Amino acid sequence: MNESTAVASRPARRVTSATQVFETLRGEIVAARLPPGTPLADRGLVERFGVSRTPVREALIRLAEIGLVDVRPQFGTFVSRVAVSAIPEAVLIRKALEGVTVEKAAERTGTGRLDTLEHAIRRQKACAAVGDNDGFHEADEAFHAAIADLAGHPGIWALVTQAKIQLDRARRLTLPILGRAEQVIVEHEAILARIAAGDAAGARSAMEGHLGAVIPDVAEIRSRHPDFFI
């Protein structure tokens, strides 16, 4: 490898390292494995990920930009709490954007193209049976992403994913509530049935009802986890 090639390749490796750190920490924060208030010290993250401080700092900047960490000068960087005010807004965004995708999916999709949705629901059932909340959430994401794909607008799901980060953090706290996972499955099956029937209006209604129940009672969740919210 000549010198110019080596120089050109170094930024790509550095960016990749920053992205890996960012994606890992984002996932752990959303899943509440890193709860609010957890300190994220540069030195500890450098040792954990085996990278230099530069990609770690880049990752923390990106996390701060999307509201997942707070940077406190002279004190350090900490996992942020969830702003309760962000939850209703995220639900509205989801209803608007996913209402469009589910309508389009119902208009475009025949029963022979529903394998991905059916697989996601089967996986949710399996995860719910063994209390695998992480797997359940991943299958939930796959279900909604598949609807956007079937609609022919996968980019909409990318927008939704960005808008619902704080909502996702609150949602992860609802799954242990008795019966919530089972109810999500029932709601998904209703959405799937309307898509399969080619009922665009019914699919949208089922989706809006499902998303409206994503956070059944914010006040109750906040009372259970007072240190999680602001």
Task: Write the pLDDT tens digit of every residue in 76-88.
Answer: 999 999 888 888 8
Average pLDDT value for residue range 111-130: 89
For residues 157 and 124, the answer to whether their CB atoms sit within 8 Å is: no
Q: Which residue has the higher pLDDT, 93 or 219?
A: 93
| pLDDT at 216 (0 to 100) | 56
Which among 3, 214, 207, 224 has a CA at the least distance from the CA of 102? 207
Domain boundary assignment for the chain: 3-79, 86-224
| pLDDT at 12 (0 to 100) | 43
* Cα–Cα distance, 132 to 28 (Å, whole number): 15
Can you say how many angstroms the Cα of residue 69 is from the centroid of all Cα atoms in its chain? Answer: 16
In the CATH scheme, what is the code of domain 86-224?
1.20.120.530
Element holding 71 (H helix, E strand): strand 69-72
At 78, phi and psi to the nearest 5? -135, 150
Q: Which of 38-52, 130-144, 215-229 has the lowest mean pLDDT?
A: 215-229
Write 68-74 long-range contacts (CB < 8 A, 24+): 68/25, 68/26, 68/29, 68/30, 68/165, 69/29, 69/40
Percent of the chain with pLDDT over 70: 88
Percent of the chain with pLDDT over 90: 53
Alpha helices in the chain (DSSP H): 3-30, 42-49, 53-65, 86-108, 115-130, 133-151, 154-163, 165-174, 180-196, 200-212, 218-224
Place of tokens 């909340």: 133
* Cα–Cα distance, 186 to 38 (Å, whole number): 35
Out of 3.90.550.10, 3.40.50.10490, 1.10.10.10, 3.40.50.1980, the CATH code matching 3-79 is 1.10.10.10
Q: How long, in residues, is the chain?
A: 230
Q: Please check whether the two domains, 3-79 and 86-224, share a CATH topology.
A: no
| pLDDT at 176 (0 to 100) | 63
Exposed, middle or buried: residue 125 (CB in 10 Å: 0-12, 13-18, 19+)?
middle
Structure tokens at 49: 């990920």
Query: How does pLDDT run across 5-32, given as a tens digit for each residue?
Result: 444 444 444 446 888 999 999 999 998 8
